[in-house]
Structure 1
C-alpha cells in the first residue's frame, strides 16, 4: 500500500505585521481544520488510512479462524501429495526481506527513512511481534502437527517473515512495487514451507501472517509519532507513482463443478462431483489492456464410491474413496478492460501442467483385525498431464490498490488413471474377472466459480 503525502500549508507574511500574522494564522488553521474534516467525511470508507492498514491482517485472522476446523483435513491432503517433504529453506528465507532493506540502504538507495530511523521502526515491530506471538503460543498450547511440542499456534517463522516483508514494503514499496512483491512472495513461501514441513497447521500460518503485518504497522505508527512525521524522505518519494496499468496479485477461493465423471472409465465412481479450488493468481500488464500472468492452484473433489461386491458376513461397513485432487500451474495472456474507475473486466487463456494425487478405496468394518479396522479395496493413480484454462473475472475496486473479484474459469485436462485392486480380491474366484488391474483415459473438465481478493500494483 502506498502512503500519500498530504499538501503542506505555507503561510508567508511580512514580519512587520505581527498582529495580522497571528490573526491570519488562526483563521487559516480554522479553515484548514474545517476543510480537512469535510475531506475526511467525503473519503470513501475503504480509502481511509486505518481501513487500508487493517484489511490484510483482518482477512488473515478470519481465514485462520475459518480453517481451524479443517486443519487436519488440509494436513491429510499434504500427507497424500508429499508425505516425506523436509526442506529447511524456511529457516533462512524469512530474513531475506530485511537483508534486502539493509543491503539497499548500504548501497545508497534512498528509501522511506534513513538507516537509523528505519532500525528503530524495525526494532519496535519485532518487539510487538515477539510479544504477540509468544503470548499466544504459551497460552493456546496447540500441539504441532508432527507432535513435537505444544507451541504451534501461531507460526513464529511466518510472523517473522511477514514482519520483515512489511518492513521492506514500508521502506521501499514507494520506490518500486517490485520490492513489495518480492518481500511478500518470500514471506508467503516461508509460510508455505512451515505447512509443507509438517511443523505448523494452516491456521497457524495464516494467523502468523496477520500478526507480522499488524506488528509492522504498529511499530511504524509509534516511531512516526516520536518523529512527528511519516518518514525522512517522503517528500522526495511522494512523486513516484505506478504506471497505472492493472497489474495484480490475487488470493482465490471457489467452488469447482465437474462437467464430466472423472472416474467413469475406471468405474470407481458413477457421479459428477462438486469440490473446491484455492490458489494464487497474478499478472503483469505492459499496457492498460494487455499483460501476461499465471496461476498456481489446488482443486479437490470428493468421490462417492460405487457399490463393491462384498461378503455379507462383514455386517455393517463403510466404503470410502479418497478425494481426487490436482495441483495446477498455468501461464498465458491476460486482457483487461475498465468500465469505470471502480469496475474492471479481465479475460485470460493459460496453458500449463496438472499433477494429480493418488487415491484409495477403503472399507471399514469392526470385524477387520487390521489397523483402524480398515481394508484397502483398490487404489487409483492418475498421471500428470497438460492442462489449459480460460476464464473471465469482474473486479469491484474498493480503492486503487484493493478489490474483490468474482471469477469463473473453465479447466480441461486428460489423465491416464491406473487402478489396482487388492490381491486378496483378485485371487477370489468369484471376483477375479471383474477386479483386474487396468488403466483408462479420463477427461478432467470442470468449471470453478468463486471470489478473489486482488491487490493492484
Structure 2
C-alpha cells in the first residue's frame, strides 16, 4: 500500500456525480441524435472503465505503494471497513421502512439490489479464485479484486440511485462510506491499490447491470419519477488525480546521495467551489513519491563497488488557492489556478549494498533521513473534456516549489569528526517539480 494509498480515499464524492441519472432528467447535451458519449450505456460505463484502467495502471506499482503505507502507518489495524460497507444499503431499507419515497417502492428496490449483489458476487469470486493473487499481508491468495470494496460501491450506488435525487447528501454520504471502506482495505494491508480500484469498478458496474435488468422487466426507469436534475451551471468539481511528477531540481544535490533529477508519481483528490461561472476557491490533498536512483563508490584499497541505496522520498501535501474557469465549448473547459500550502515529508532509510557485506540481503543500514515540513506554492492549468454535464476526463499540468532541510541520523559505524555528538547531519535542498497527468472529474 503506498503512493496511491491516499488517492483511493475520496473516490466517494468523486464518483458521486459519475453515475448516470434517469432518462427523465434534463441533459445539457441532449439532442435528437445523441453522440457516442451521450448514449445511455456509454455514460453508465465511464466510471467503471476508468477505475478498471486505473487498476491496470497501478498494477506494477503495487509494492511501491504498499511500502509507503508501511513507512507511515506500519501498525495500523482497524476493522471499521468490515461494517461500513453495509451502511449505504442499510440506509436505503431504513428510509423505505420509514415511508420516505425514493426512486422505487420497497419490493422493486429489493429486487434491484438482489440482482446487483448477485452479479457482483459472481464477478468478484470468479476472478478471485482464478487470478489467485496473494494478499499484501501474505495471508491468502484471493486478493484481487477487493470484495469489501465491490460490495461497498454496489451499496453506495444503490443508495445513490434510490435517493440521490431526493437529496444529494445521500449520494455524498454513500460514496464517502464506500471510499473509506476501500481506504480501510489498503490501510489494514489486506489489499493492494489495484484490488480496491477494480473492486470499486465492479461494484458500480454490478449496480448498473442489476438496475438495467429489473428496469427491463418493469419497462420503465422507476416507480416514482419526476425529480429535477439539480446540477449547477457553475463548474464546482471534485476529481481524483494520478500522474507523473518530474523534478526540476536535484532533490539530494547537497546531500550527494543522488546525482540525477528524480521522476516520481503523484496522486490525490482535488476540488473547488465556484461562486460564479468563472471564479472559485479550491484545494488539493495529494501524495508524491520520488524513487532515488542512488550513487556508487569504490574504496582505494578494494576493487569492489559499493552502492548507496536510499528509500524513496515521500511527501503529503495540502494546498488551497483561487481557481479561474473558462468554457471553450460545451465539451471543453479550461481552468487555471494558484496555490499555496503545506508539505510533510516521510522518513526513510539509507543503506550500503555490496557483495562484501555479510547479511542476508547484502545491505547494511547506515542512516535514517527525514525531510522537514514546510511551505509550498505553485500553480497549474487543466483542460477537461466533458462526457456529459456531470463527468469528464481532465489533463493537468501543475508546478510546485518548496524548500526542505533533510536531516540525517547516522549509525556510529560511519560517524566522523564532521558530525556532532548525536551523529546528526543536515542539508538544505530545493524540491521543485512539475506534475503531469489525468483526473477523473465530477461536476456538481
1:455 matched residue in structure 2: 442
Comparing 302-311 with 438-447, greater Cα deviation is found at 302-311
**Length, aligned pairs only:** 419
> For residue 433 of structure 2, what is the aligned residue in structure 1?
446
The partner residue of 1:85 within 76, 84, 90 is: 76
Q: Distance in 1 between matches of 2:419 and 2:163?
A: 65
Aligned to 1:423: 412
Deviation of residue 190 (structure 1)?
Answer: 1.3
- Asked whether the equivalents of residues 22 and 221 of structure 2 are also in contact (C-alpha less than 8 Å), the reply is no
Q: 1:208 maps to which residue?
A: 199
Q: Are 2:268 and 1:279 equivalent residues in the alignment?
A: yes
Aligned to 1:125: 116
Q: CA shift at 1:310, angstroms?
A: 4.2
Q: Deviations over 1:310-335 (max 9, x none)?
A: 46537244332221111112233322
* Residues 158 and 212 in structure 1, CA contact (< 8 A), matched pair in contact too: yes
Task: Compare 159-168 and 182-191 and name the one that shifted more.
Answer: 182-191
Q: Deviations along 1:313-368, whole A, 9 cap, x unmatched?
A: 37244332221111112233322222221121222233333221122222222222
2:236 aligned partner: 247
Match of 1:115 among 106, 114, 130: 106
**Cα–Cα, structure 1 residues 102 and 314, in superposed 2: closer, same or farther, change >3 Å?**
farther
Q: Name 1:410's counterpart in structure 2.
A: 399
CA shift, 1:103, in A, is 3.8
Among 335, 339, 342, which residue is 2:324 paired with? 335
- In structure 2, the CA distance between the partners of 1:369 and 1:340, relative to structure 1 (3 Å rule), is same
C-alpha change, 1:245 and 1:179, in structure 2 (3 Å) is farther
RMSD (CA atoms): 2.3
Match in the other structure for 2:23: 5
CA deviation string 1:156-191 (max 9, x = no partner)? 110111101111121122234343233222212211
Gaps of 5+ in 2: 1-18, 26-30
Relative to structure 1, the CA distance from residue 314 to residue 363 in structure 2 (aligned partners, 3 Å threshold; closer, same or farther) is: farther
TM-score w.r.t. the length of structure 1 is: 0.85
Question: Compared with structure 1, are the counterparts of its residues 311 and 342 closer, same or farther at alpha carbon in structure 2 (3 Å cutoff)?
Answer: same
Distance 1:220 1:180 in 2: 17
Counterpart for residue 98 of structure 1: 89
Q: How does 1:48-87 map to 2 (within 5 A)?
A: 48-87=39-78
Per the alignment, residue 220 of structure 2 pairs with: 229
Shift of 1:206: 1.2
CA distance in 2, matches of 1:71, 1:257: 20
1:170 maps to what in 2? 161
Report the structure, 1 or 2, having the larger helix content: 1
In structure 2, how many angstroms separate the alpha carbons of the residues matched to 1:301 and 1:333?
28
Question: Structure 1's 311 and 223: CA in aligned 2 closer, same or farther, altered over 3 A?
Answer: farther
CA distance in 2, matches of 1:423, 1:101: 61
Aligned to 2:38: 47
> Retained in 2: the 8 A contact 1:378–1:420?
yes
